[in-house]
Chains A and B, each alone.
Chain A
Amino acid sequence: MTAETMIQTTGLTKDFGRLRAVDGLNIEVKRGEAYGFLGPNGAGKSTTIRMLTGFLRPNIGSIEIMGKDMLRNPLAVKEKVGIVPDQFGFYPLMNSREHLDFYGRLYGMEKKRLLARTDEVLGLVGLTDRAKSRVGDYSHGMKQRLAIAQALLNEPEILFLDEPTTGLDPQGQYDTRQLIRKLHAGGLTIFVSSHLLNEVDDICTHVGIVKSGRLVAQDSIANLQGQLSKAKGVLVSVSVCRPGELWPIVKGVQGVVGVDPTGPNAFVVHLDRREAIPELARVVASSELGLWNFNEMQLSLEQVFLEMTGGAR
């Protein structure tokens, strides 16, 4: 089954003077994905999302969003997407409802639909109670929620969020992620840029990793973990009851390729096949060191990320 392509860039490139900030990106996001756009600071994430949302024009390359050419017809695209920029501001003297009314009119929404939709999105982001107080009196978290509300006003098919939890307190971060997950569960395609790995791990199904303006990986998170596991082999974390040398004990087991001690009685055992795990467990358990703890290690997104972006510098 091939889902509809929602975002497609071809050779997307942006220069700032002599600096090439984004270099030939080919991004592809399909309907229903929650796509995390990951990269270290300065990798070109913001530049990319600004091009995707029409704030910046690329020097080279094309952007198609829902089959429409973003560069030629940005208004038709903006009508169908919601955008939460990394930096945004409101008019301090206006309240939430006035803001949403203003933005809704700019979407050309019909009055009745706009009123109904305003109530809906205010409820969705939990601002109904404060909808009539001036935005100048809002906390950062409330402004962030209003920013999401205004992006949802037009019932978009794609929601772009640029670093959506930056500057929020833990509760605010949690609420925002919950909200994004809920929206994704409702079928919305999400494109979120972030440098927070746990955030992307938490929210996203797919990930694109960018490094120095180039896309180094793009796939579902599960696939990336699988690929990396294949390349790196199977890792098993083993703890024993008594300190000692594990290598002489396990080196005879078929498939074991190495042991890294990580503590006086803790080790990581490298295997070249998963089938070797039961035999490894049996051998360690019956040795004089005794088996305390034994489990296969899952690669975290962090390891994937560090691996893809060239590891710890």
Chain B
Amino acid sequence: MPPAFVDSVWTIARKELMLHLKTKRLLVIGGVFAALIIIISLYGGYLTGQTQDEPTYEQGAGAVMSIVFSFSAFFPAILAVAMTYDAIVGEKVNHSMYLLISKPVRRESIFLGKLLGAWLAVALVYIVVFSLGFVLVLGMAGTAPTADGAADVYGAVGIILLGTGAWMTLVMLYSSLFKTTASTLITAILSWLFVLSLVSQAGLIYYAVSISGQDVELNVNVNYTPMPGNQTILTFTGFAMINPMPINVSVTDAQGNPVLNELPGADNASHSFVVSPGLYDWTVAAEGDSTTAGAFSNGTVYVVPGASMSFGMAAMDDDMYDNDVAFSLTDGAGQPFPGGEYSVAASGSPSFVQLDATAFAEKNLTEGPFVASVALGNETVYFSTFYSYGESLSGDLAIFAALSGENDDAPGYVRAMYAINPDNCMGAYNYLFNHDYVGILTMTESIGSLVAFSAVCLALGLVVFRRKSLA
């Protein structure tokens, strides 16, 4: 009896895995990868330990872990290309394919077995390296691992491996299509660096250009809960990201009547006004000759006793590397919160610090006002603060959502084009860490698009491998 389909797939996968582990290729790439992760983990864990009074996984190590993951963004593609570019064409070139197909095995078994073997080898590297990174971050930060934290890390590893698998199916397709390992390698690298990322971004770029100079509705609904006897000051800022030109900001109520009417603004125009107690449903619009605009508010924040509130700050340090941006939250008299300041160092990509109701409760904060401020190093810093009462103020991440739209706002073609990039596993694992990450695709869409991408490449690869003459 010839072996069952599954058995021959496994036999081939096993052999592939063994050879991958014997080859220096995986060792070198895995080693570089491990070294990078370990250095970042040590450094990040050290910083977290320094800057957090009471570091928890969510606030400290978790944030650093997300930096670790973003540094590892290009490894799925590199590893996938390195492990699979010669999977099929290599066996043709060194003629070992002839002995393989002289055995009673289906071509599908060969294809799937090779894919599985390479994927398992990469999975092994990832799991070892990330476990090491996870332990190091926690160790350096002096925090204990939590079940949720572990679930986040390994969930993210799972998503990265899904992305790696998607890249592998594409490279396997090339490997069965081309006659030499060199052309397979070059095509795979070009696809990674240019073709797929350009095509997937093309929708976004077209969208940005098409909305240039138009009013951008940001749908920031300010459902402000009245506080008897108090006032608050809200500031709306127009913000140009790609094409910084003068922008005007306007605020209208639910009926479309102006609340704040197109005050003349400049680049990053800010407009503040006093809000009387009351319930408002306002729309903030930014208008200007810019490809993007955003609005956010900062200033005095009330804390409503008993209300669920979240508060956050974002900053972008423009030289990216030195950690001289710090956030802090003080009360109205400029005094630190009881129990110390909330602060965190930020570097590189925007860092978010979110304080939820529980955190406030821990500080015994029952009343405001409090002032959120950002301490700057000697450089330009873009920043915003955002907060919400209860379910409201959902659009306050508009600064980042403006270009891409919120999950549900990006036009279909932007989302569809974005979905063809196997690198979008990044978005999915950001969800895992930040829980409310605003990206172009939702986590379900990211995972779904990776699965669909893999399925298409797999089907094409199998057809090509079946039909192509090996002799």
Q: Does A75 contact B (CB under 8 A)?
A: yes
Interface residues of A in 1-58 (CB under 8 A from B): 50, 53-56
Contacting residue for B103 out of A76, A89, A103, CB 8 A:
A103
The chain A residue with its CB closest to the CB of B15 is: A102
Q: Does A292 contact B (CB under 8 A)?
A: no
> What separation, in Å, do the CA atoms of A76 and B91 have in the docked complex?
24
A91 touches B104 (CB 8 A): no
With A88-B95, A88-B98 already in contact, the answer to whether A107 and B103 are too (CB < 8 A) is yes
Expressed in whole angstroms, the minimum distance between the Cβ of B21 and any Cβ of chain A is 10
> What separation, in Å, do the CA atoms of A83 and B98 have in the docked complex?
9
Q: Does A194 contact B (CB under 8 A)?
A: no
Contacting residue for B99 out of A103, A105, A108, CB 8 A:
A103
Stretch at the interface among B2-10, B216-224, B264-272: B2-10
Q: Does B279 contact A (CB under 8 A)?
A: no
With A75-B106, A102-B15, A106-B8 already in contact, the answer to whether A90 and B101 are too (CB < 8 A) is no
How many residues on B have C-beta within 8 angstroms of the other chain's C-beta atoms? 30
Q: Does A296 contact B (CB under 8 A)?
A: no
Contacting residue for A94 out of B7, B19, B91, B103, CB 8 A:
B19
> What separation, in Å, do the CA atoms of A88 and B3 have in the docked complex?
23
A90 touches B99 (CB 8 A): yes
Interface residues of B in 1-42 (CB under 8 A from A): 1-4, 7-8, 11-12, 15, 18-19, 22-23
The chain B residue with its CB closest to the CB of A50 is: B471
With A55-B98, A105-B3, A106-B8 already in contact, the answer to whether A93 and B22 are too (CB < 8 A) is yes
- The residue among A90, A106, A107 with the most chain B CB atoms within 10 A of its own CB is A106
A55 touches B101 (CB 8 A): yes
With A93-B22, A106-B8 already in contact, the answer to whether A78 and B103 are too (CB < 8 A) is yes
Interface residues of A in 55-112 (CB under 8 A from B): 55-56, 74-76, 78-79, 83, 85, 87-91, 93-94, 98, 102-103, 105-108
For A55, the chain B residues whose CB sits under 8 A away are: 98, 101-102, 470-471
For A78, the chain B residues whose CB sits under 8 A away are: 102-104
A150 touches B106 (CB 8 A): no
> What separation, in Å, do the CA atoms of A191 and B95 have in the docked complex?
21
B471 touches A106 (CB 8 A): no
Interface residues of B in 84-100 (CB under 8 A from A): 91, 94-100
The chain B residue with its CB closest to the CB of A94 is: B19
> What separation, in Å, do the CA atoms of A78 and B11 have in the docked complex?
17
23 contacts across the A-B interface (CB closer than 8 A): A55-B471, A78-B102, A78-B104, A85-B95, A85-B98, A85-B102, A87-B98, A88-B96, A88-B99, A89-B95, A91-B15, A94-B18, A94-B22, A98-B18, A105-B11, A106-B3, A106-B100, A106-B103, A107-B3, A107-B103, A108-B2, A108-B8, A150-B99
Interchain residue pairs A-B with the least CB separation, the first 4: A108-B3, A89-B95, A83-B102, A89-B94
* Other A-B pairs beyond A88-B98, A94-B18, 17, CB < 8 Å: A55-B102, A55-B471, A56-B471, A83-B102, A85-B99, A88-B95, A90-B96, A94-B19, A102-B11, A103-B103, A105-B3, A105-B7, A106-B3, A106-B11, A106-B12, A107-B104, A108-B3
- Footprint of B on A, CB under 8 Å? 50, 53-56, 74-76, 78-79, 83, 85, 87-91, 93-94, 98, 102-103, 105-108, 147, 150-151
